[in-house]
Every structure is written in C-alpha cells, then in structure tokens.
Amino acid sequence: MKKFILLSFVGVFTFACVDFNRDHLLQKVAKMDQHLLDLERKLKDERMNDVSAIKLKTMQTELRIKQNLYLDTIDMALAKKLDAYKVMRRSIKPMLQQYLKVREGIKEEKRVLKQLRKDIKEGRGERNRYAEYIRFERQKVQQLSTLTTEYLRTKEQFFEDYASMYSPIEAFSYTLLQKKQNR
C-alpha cells in the first residue's frame, strides 16, 4: 500500500511538473507570436499601395528624359541627379521583393508556431525536444525581425529619395519635351 501511495504521489508530481513546463513553453510560443504580430503591424503602410503607380510614373519620366535630352556635354550636378534618380527608380523592385519575403516569412512562421502550440498542448511529438524547437523558432523570429528592420530602413530611404527627386526631375523632363516641341 505504501508503494502504491508513493508511486501515485510521484506520478502526480511528475504530471504537475509537465503541466508547469507545458505552460512555460506555451508562454514562450505566445511571446514569439506576439512579436510576429508586432512585425506585421510595422509592415503595414498605405504608401505601399501606390508603389506600382510610382514605378510607372518614374519610368515614364526617365523615358521622357532619354528621348528628349540631346547634349554633347552635361552638367556634372545634373548628371549626378539623374544617376541618383535612376538608382532610386531601380530600387523599387528589390524593395518589393524584400517586402514579399518578409511578409511570407511572417505568415509561414505564424503557421509553424500555431502547429508547435498545438503539439505542446496535446503533448504530441518528442516532448523532450520542445525547448529545442522553441529555440530554433525564436532564431527564425529574430531573423524575421532583422529582415523587417532592414526592409523598413530601405522603404523609408526610398520614399525620402522619391519625395526629394521626383518633382524636380519630372519638371526637368517636361522642359526637355517642350524644348523639343518648340524646335
């Protein structure tokens, strides 16, 4: 009888520790999930809806300049502005690729964390490796955080460059067009 009571006590104690560990692991997963939600919020920017229109406008402006600029020599300051404009325009595609990569990475990680949470709750898989899985997923979340920060920096730089360069270069392209038409 004493052995039965002792085994019962050990069994109850073991399951209590497992539940405590399970709750701790679930808290870690919830924390990572919250971090992903924060990253998702940071990605939302209404200006990104206009990027395709911006790309089209910048390409049209560059084309107007190419078709209407006839100089044997060019002012160095103008050349630098035109070159910076071209770099800004070409940065749109990599910026969008970065955006899609981060967005898809967050979606995928949310699916993985959801499955991990479900496995922990139901006690499926190798329970002794849950902490290892959580460490691995935490590293992936950290990578996504780094990619998001880099994307946000790139996006802000693009919109700064666009705001400062587009209007003067567009006006310059229209002056070239008018000069050509007046010839």
- The domain locations on the chain are 25-182
Lowest mean pLDDT among 17-21, 77-81, 167-171: 17-21
Q: Reply yes or no on whether the pLDDT at 6 is more than 70.
A: no
pLDDT band at 14 (very low <50, low <70, confident <90, very high): very low
Q: Reply yes or no on whether the pLDDT at 92 is more than 70.
A: yes
CB burial class (10 A; 0-12, 13-18, 19+) of residue 2?
Answer: exposed
Residues 6 or more apart in contact with residue 98 via CB below 8 angstroms: 147, 150, 151, 154
Residue 115 sits at the vertex; the CA angle it makes with 109 and 118, to the nearest 5 degrees, is 140
pLDDT for the residue 107 = 96
CB 147 within 8 A of CB 105: yes
Query: For residues 66 and 2, which has the higher predicted lDDT (pLDDT)?
Result: 66
pLDDT band at 124 (very low <50, low <70, confident <90, very high): confident
What is the pLDDT of the chain when averaged over all its residues?
87
Say how far apart CA 27 and CA 31 lie, in whole Å: 6
pLDDT for the residue 3 = 63
Q: Reply yes or no on whether the pLDDT at 95 is more than 90.
A: yes
| pTM (whole model) above 0.85 | no
Within 13 Å and on the Cβ side, how many CA atoms surround 145? 13
pLDDT for the residue 110 = 96
Q: Reply yes or no on whether the pLDDT at 4 is more than 90.
A: no
Residues 6 or more apart in contact with residue 78 via CB below 8 angstroms: 172
Q: Reply yes or no on whether the pLDDT at 18 is more than 80.
A: no
Lowest mean pLDDT among 7-21, 111-125, 142-156: 7-21
pLDDT band at 59 (very low <50, low <70, confident <90, very high): very high
Phi, psi of 14 (to 5 degrees): -65, -45
- The percentage of the chain sitting over the pLDDT mark of 90, rounded to a whole number, equals 65
Say how far apart CA 110 and CA 119 lie, in whole Å: 14
pLDDT for the residue 2 = 62
**Nearest residue to 143 (alpha-carbon basis) of 108, 96, 97, 181:** 108
